[in-house]
Amino acid sequence: MFELFKLQSRDDVVDDKGPNRWDWALLPLILALFSIFAFAAMQMSRPFSVGEALQVSLDPFYLPYYLLRTILRMFTALGFSLLFSLAFAAIAVKYAAAEKIMIPALDILQSVPILGFQAIAIAPFIALFPGNLLGVECAAIFAIFTSQAWNMAFSLYQSMRTVPSELSEAAHIFRLSGWQRFWRLELPFAMPGLLWNMMMSMSGGWFFLVAAEAISVAGQDIKLPGIGSYIAVAIEAKDGHAIAWAIGAMLTGILFYDQLFFRPLLAWADKFRFEESQGETSQQSWLLDWMRNSSWVRSWTESFWAFLSRGLGWFSVTYDGTSERALKKPMSPLWSRIWDGVLTVVTLLAIFRLISFIHSDVGMSEVVHVIGLAMITLVRVMLLIGLASLVWVPVSVWIGLRPQYSQKVQAIAQFLAAFPVNLMFPLVVFAMVTFNLTPNIWLSPLMVFGTQWYILFNVVAGAATIPNELRLAADNLGLKGWLKWKRVYLPAIFPSYITGAITASGGSWNASIVAEYVTWGKTTLVADGLGSYIKQMTETGDFHRIALGIGIMCIFVTLLNRFFWRKLYLLAEDHIR
């Protein structure tokens, strides 16, 4: 028995390749996962012609199958998001000229709502695979991808920018090539942040799942088999039971991939934590423990890593510092100025084109109208973030100061952030019709329904890190009531609150598309605002007005970020220093 545990240490060579009990436990699990996903993948490609109706049944019996399809889609999108992020960050960090375009572009892409991408992408994807469902499948995956990729790419880029200088110097001294540096230094360093953002991205994917799977863009009405379509059909059919079933299925799905994918990954990635002194409790995963104990898995991973590390030798630097090739040539100031000039000209041209397009095709009065709508949405977003803060900040501080709850609450908040707002439609419509409420006011809470949890989540984390000594000192000085909040708690959580509020604000703009336009069966409730405008225009397929609406939203979100949230963020950073 004891021999078995000794084998846990990492560098022990496993002589005995025979299976142990962990192997027998893992084998069925792995085989089951493989065959299930293979089955689902095969279902993705089948004949389909545009206009053909796909049956989505509300029978709960089909739910596991829909869940499987949805999860496969989400993971495919996650895989592509990961590839995109790796390429994006590597290029942006390496080439200053590219960085100048890529980072602002990412800022803008982040603020484009999912419907915008869908409107553009659906036709080309269907044309790519004529007569096959795979095209629609790709469009859905692309839509999910657009709700996952940006924050991952940004996090990876940020981390790669902030690689500690001494490690970077060490990599230089030992002459790692760019390729080796990426795999040995930059990616490992970025890993914790990247994983964290992958989890957030999965939540983001669920949030817009209905829009991604039940495609109703430009007169199309395609419902791919999946949980999102199931919810859409349930809403059309006014089936409350089905909604409940969908919530259950979603919960199960999240639980599954959390236990089988993210937990093991997080526990494994624990070694990439750079700050060694940080008091964060390390993640635990039963699956990873199983895998580490299984001799099959261990010998397999060992040869896998050995195989991968052979790839590290592909691009070695063959010369050293005595060769002139080692000389780093910075971009000459002339070229950099020319490049800046080109960018300015292109930007000006684009702005000119945009203005002339708007002027001729939509008319200036429409622009003013849309800006007015954006103002309404802006007021809504800010008011609701403020209200949500009033409610959640005290609650989160209370929770954060009690470590026994805080971890559990964080897990719950993460689930709530994933909760598609569409699932609230039956309740909302019922309440509004029964009490005869005005949509312009009472639909607003839906906007922060999914995003308020980011405030909760971040503030809980911030409050949990308030040094115990600070609290003792405050007690010792007899600080009580409001004074204690004003002098201790609020300043301490301010930076994490700002981080949460930024995420919540960005998310709320996107959510406005779903939240300002609510349907339940034949009942449709519309609040005035930019979100409902975009949603209505996408349904009718008016591309000019979609572009206008999305453009205005981009401008509003970007300006708000730049001139409000970033200022607050810098202030918070300065305060805590």
Contacts with other proteins by CB under 8 A lie at 9-12, 164, 166-167, 169-170, 172-177, 180, 184-185, 188, 191, 271-274, 276, 306, 309, 312-313, 316-317, 320-328
Write phi, then psi, for 221 (nearest 5 degrees).
-145, 90
- For other proteins, which is the closer residue by CB, 185 or 488? 185
Q: How far apart are CA 468 and CA 446, in angstroms?
A: 37
What is the closest distance, in whole angstroms, from the C-beta atom of residue 304 to other proteins in the complex? Answer: 14
Please answer whether residues 270 and 283 qualify as being in contact, where contact means their C-beta atoms are separated by less than 8 angstroms.
Answer: yes
> Which DSSP category does 281 fall into?
P
Q: Under 8 Å CB-to-CB from 247, ≥6 apart: which residues?
A: 419, 423
- For other proteins, which is the closer residue by CB, 174 or 352? 174
Parallel/antiparallel/unpaired status of strands 222-223 and 523-526? unpaired
Q: Give the burial class of 143: count Cβ atoms within 10 A of its Cβ; 0-12 exposed, 13-18 middle, 19 or more buried.
A: buried
Write phi, then psi, for 329 (nearest 5 degrees).
-95, 110
What is the closest distance, in whole angstroms, from the C-beta atom of residue 155 to other proteins in the complex? Answer: 17
For residue 426, what are its two tokens? Answer: 């039956």
DSSP string for 9-33: STT------S--HHHHHHHHHHHHH
What is the closest distance, in whole angstroms, from the C-beta atom of residue 192 to other proteins in the complex? Answer: 10
- For other proteins, which is the closer residue by CB, 11 or 16? 11
What is the closest distance, in whole angstroms, from the C-beta atom of residue 570 to other proteins in the complex? Answer: 13
What is the closest distance, in whole angstroms, from the C-beta atom of residue 9 to other proteins in the complex? Answer: 6
Q: How many residues does the chain have?
A: 577
Residue found by looking up tokens 């990439």 in the block: 272
Q: How far apart are CA 321 and CA 326, in angstroms?
A: 5
Residue among 268, 189, 211 nearest 10 (CA)? 268
- For other proteins, which is the closer residue by CB, 169 or 221? 169
Residue 104 in 3-state DSSP? helix
- For other proteins, which is the closer residue by CB, 75 or 272? 272
Please answer whether residues 480 and 449 qualify as being in contact, where contact means their C-beta atoms are separated by less than 8 angstroms.
Answer: no
**Looking at this protein, which amino acid is placed at residue 319?**
Y
What is the closest distance, in whole angstroms, from the C-beta atom of residue 469 to other proteins in the complex? Answer: 21
What is the closest distance, in whole angstroms, from the C-beta atom of residue 305 to other proteins in the complex? Answer: 10
Residue found by looking up tokens 């839906």 in the block: 446
What is the closest distance, in whole angstroms, from the C-beta atom of residue 13 to other proteins in the complex? Answer: 11
What is the closest distance, in whole angstroms, from the C-beta atom of residue 280 to other proteins in the complex? Answer: 13
Q: How far apart are CA 350 and CA 551, in angstroms?
A: 12
- For other proteins, which is the closer residue by CB, 184 or 484? 184
- CA-based R_g, the chain, Å: 26
- For other proteins, which is the closer residue by CB, 244 or 568? 568
HSE-up of 147 (CA within 13 Å, CB side)? 32
Parallel/antiparallel/unpaired status of strands 517-520 and 523-526? antiparallel
Q: For the stretch 367-404, what's the b/e string if a residue is b when 16 or more beta carbons lie within 10 angstroms of its beta carbon?
A: beebeebbebbbebbeebbeebbeebbeebbebbbeee
What is the closest distance, in whole angstroms, from the C-beta atom of residue 313 to other proteins in the complex? Answer: 5
- For other proteins, which is the closer residue by CB, 251 or 326? 326
- For other proteins, which is the closer residue by CB, 79 or 313? 313
What is the closest distance, in whole angstroms, from the C-beta atom of residue 191 to other proteins in the complex? Answer: 8
β-sheet bridge partners, residue 132: 47
What is the closest distance, in whole angstroms, from the C-beta atom of residue 156 to other proteins in the complex? Answer: 16
What is the closest distance, in whole angstroms, from the C-beta atom of residue 314 to other proteins in the complex? Answer: 9
For residue 52, what are its two tokens? Answer: 């053909």
- For other proteins, which is the closer residue by CB, 27 or 317? 317
- For other proteins, which is the closer residue by CB, 98 or 170? 170
**Looking at this protein, which amino acid is placed at residue 80?**
F
- For other proteins, which is the closer residue by CB, 180 or 458? 180
Please answer whether residues 461 and 503 qualify as being in contact, where contact means their C-beta atoms are separated by less than 8 angstroms.
Answer: no
- For other proteins, which is the closer residue by CB, 270 or 539? 270
Collect contacts of 410-415 with beta carbons under 8 A, ≥24 apart.
410/457, 410/460, 410/461, 413/453, 413/456, 413/457, 413/460, 414/199, 414/203, 414/453, 414/457, 415/251, 415/254
- For other proteins, which is the closer residue by CB, 277 or 476? 277
What is the closest distance, in whole angstroms, from the C-beta atom of residue 279 to other proteins in the complex? Answer: 14
